[in-house]
Structure 1
C-alpha cells in the first residue's frame, strides 16, 4: 500500500532522525486502525537521498511480519529507487532487534547488492523512539555476512581474491629480479605496482 506523502514530506534524507521524523507520523496515522500489529515499510530514495516513495509491504501480527525479498525489490525497481531504507514497528515499544529482524535484514542486504538497489539502513520504531541498524553498527556487520550470499557470488569472490594473490606474488618476483639487477626503487614501484614499503622489505642478493 502506497503511503501518500505531501511535497513537504518528500525530503532529502540526511540521517536516521530524518527518516524517523517521517515514519513516526506514518505510524501514528496507521496505528489508529492496527495499533497492535507490526507494519513493515520500505522507503525508496533517489541518488541524492530524496524520498521517492514510502510503501507498506506487510501487515503482520503483534510480534512478527512476513516479508518476501521479491515484493521489496520488485517495487523498488518499478519505482526506480536507487537505494532503500527498511522500517518496521514493534507494538510493544521494545526496540531491540530480534533474530528474525537480523536475518531478514541480512537477506535483503544481499539481494539488494545483486539487483544494485542497496539497503542503507533499517529502523525499528515506536511512537516515542527508534533504533537504527546503521547507527549501532549492525548494518555494517550484516553487510559482511555470507549467510545469504549465493554460491556463485562466493565463488566469484574467491576467484577474484585468488587472482589478486597470484598477481601480487608475480609482481613480488619481478621486483626481486629488478632489485638483484640494481634497479632503483622508483622504477620497481612503477613496474610492479608495489608500495615503497613492500619494495624496501625485499631482501635479495644483487647480481
Structure 2
C-alpha cells in the first residue's frame, strides 16, 4: 500500500477502501487496520491524514428510497438513472 507513496516521495497519504455491501459501520478490523497503517506511515515518515470509505451507490439509493425520498431527487444526488433506482 505504501510502495507507490515511497516511490513518489510522498509525505502525506489518504487511505481509501470500499464497503460494497453498503455497511458503513466501522468494524474492529477497520480500526485495527487503520491503526497499523498509521504506524507504518510514521515509520516511513508519511503522514496518514485521512481515511475514506466508499459505498455502493445503488445501495445508498435504495436506502434513500426506503426512507421516502422521491426517485427524481435520488437520481439527481447519486447520478443514477430513475430506471436503475
Interval of TM-score (by shorter of Structure 1 and Structure 2): 0.5 to 0.7
Match of 1:107, SS state, is: helix
Matching residue of 1:122: 51
Q: Which has the higher contact order (CA 8 A, sep 6+)?
A: 2
Residue 97 (structure 1) aligned to one of 22, 26, 31: 26
- 5 Å-filtered alignment, 1:191-202, equals none
Unmatched tracts of structure 2, length 5 or more: 61-85
- 5 Å-filtered alignment, 1:75-114, equals 75-114=4-43
Q: CA offset at residue 108 of structure 1?
A: 0.7
TM-score (norm 1): 0.26
Matching residue of 1:203: none
Unmatched tracts of structure 1, length 5 or more: 1-71, 130-207
Runs of 4+ in 1 over 3 A off after TM superposition: none
RMSD: 1.5
What is the total number of aligned residue pairs between the two structures? Answer: 58
TM-score (norm 2): 0.61
